[in-house]
A = this chain, B = another copy of it.
Amino acid sequence: MTPSLSFRPAVGGREVLSAEPIDMVGMLAGAHHPGAGAVVLFSGEVRDNNRGRPVSHLEYEAYAPLAAKMIGEILAEAKTRWSLQIAVAQHRTGVVAVGDTAVVVITASAHRSEAYAANRYIIDRIKHEAPIWKCEHYADGTHEWGNNCNCHAVTGDVSKHIYESHG
């Protein structure tokens, strides 16, 4: 067995990792269901600063086979837990410009509580657990891998994370 180089498709058939700009509008257009009264979309976008320091762009790196597998599992778990009609996500790899989208999560459910809670759950788990890393490139030419999950400093276990309530 060699690690798979094809990224696992998300529940909706779209790849969960993308080296190209995310087609957020296309994802949203596909995220409707006649039994779903609530659709929630989260878009994580590149800010022009990090704690006040001007940012020129970000770069995302992923250990793709595992990241794709984990995101697929997180989506499937959320779909079951909150009885979602739809749960899809896509995360960028490579260079992402200021103002561009780095990650999108869309959830749809009969009522809105579930769509909100599941959406937050999915993005929190992706950000804390999937092997995807962010390098901040600053306007002054320097760069820094960072803003990483630091939960292990509290939990004492690199596999245990702290989340806000997920309803």
Contacts and interface: CB of A to CB of B under 8 A. Distances in A.
A34 B98 contact: yes
Nearest to A37: B47
B32 A45 contact: yes
Q: List the number of copies, as a whole number.
A: 2
Interface string A3-42: 0000000000000000000001100110010111111111
Contacts of A29: 25
A123 interface: yes
Contacts of A167: 164
Interface stretch (A63-71, A110-118, A138-146): A110-118
A43 B98 CA distance: 26
Interface of A: 24-25, 28-29, 32, 34-49, 98-99, 110, 112-113, 115-116, 119-120, 123, 164, 167
